[in-house]
Structure 1
Amino acid sequence: MKRQWTDSHTEMLRELYPVETIERTAEIIGFSRTTIKVKARKFGIVKGMNVEWLDKATVVRNNFDSHSFAEIADMIGATKTTVARIAGKLGLRRTRKENRHIRSRVRKDMVKREKRRVIFGFDPVTRIKVVTNRRRIRLRAELKAAGYIVERMANILYFKSEDCRNLNKENIASRHGLRFAPWPYEEEPLVNAI
């Protein structure tokens, strides 16, 4: 048997609907969510301003110019999509320059975090390569092109004979942590063969 909607249900709906969620209102009154929505529309009852949404909107407005959507989402405990929707409702927009500055700051922070993790011996979280010595990498490439044999994941470069050595570059490379040794094997290496 169907339950009948009464005036007492209407009064409860007028009290609860503006301040409670539809699910909670339906649970208290004892009707389905669809019935609650239909009756609210029929009687012209509208939802009041959600205090929680207003708090989130305040945080979004205050941090919109200086923080990324992900950072703001962490602050308010919501998703990036929710932050984007709130920003859209508030009419907040960023220029390309502002977006560029925020991305740059976030990237720098990420690199700093990764460097700290590497320094203290933890595994990296991202695939960002943070510990590099560009000059050493360039010197390795130049010496490899000059005929030195380079092993992967090692700072030792091998020379095949004393004739092909470049002592000037070797001295510079030694200052950057590279070491040199004669090729220990008899056969010709295939490392540099392309």
Structure 2
Amino acid sequence: MNTTTQPKAKRTVWGIEHDKVLQERFHTDYIHEIASHLCCTTSTVSRHARLLGLRKENPSGRNLDARAFVEMEFPNLSYGEMAVRTGLCKNTIYLIARELGLSRTREQMSAIKSRRRKELIRSERRRALFGLEPRTRLKVGSNIRKIRLRGNLKRLGYLIDDDGTTFYYHAGLCRRPIREEHGRKFGFKFMPLPTACTEETIHDSASPAVSVNGQTIN
């Protein structure tokens, strides 16, 4: 057994001369080369470079298009979304954002989290609609049968109102009495298409589609 003690590495005390070397070589040399020359770690060099306000003019090893995208979309997209769109990993996106000195306000972070949660809920509802297993633990609905019935009625041609419980049917629709009866048990209401929409269809020959709540019928 080797009991020889290894000498401890000498700790570098950062001084003014180190700042001068860093300022001279920062824009031309790699971080690890500067760290090796100064006998310190790359994180130490990066930290002092930020304190001195130094930034790479043409960062090597980085996709310039990705950097421009991160700088533009950082307030609006999450790290994962930017990683998917740029083809990079999340850690690389994080490093780019840190190098650029980007930060988010509380309002921006809340908006991103809220949007991502809504997207996950919509995705889970679609999976429940088609009878697929959930991917997350989010509670997207207390009655899966009601969600599926609503989706089936929309696919059959019924037009749903903003309240989510009122369905409209036009004159040419093949109604489904059994499904309507099931819907009434869930609190759905079924009404004929408003007369205003019907008259609009008759008089507007250039656009024969009827629009109700953003949906169209021919």
The alignment's TM-score, normalised by the length of structure 2, stands at 0.39
Q: Greater relative contact order: 1 or 2 (C-alpha under 8 angstroms, separation 6 or more)?
A: 1
Q: Which has the higher helix share?
A: 1
Which structure is larger by alpha-carbon Rg, 1 or 2?
1
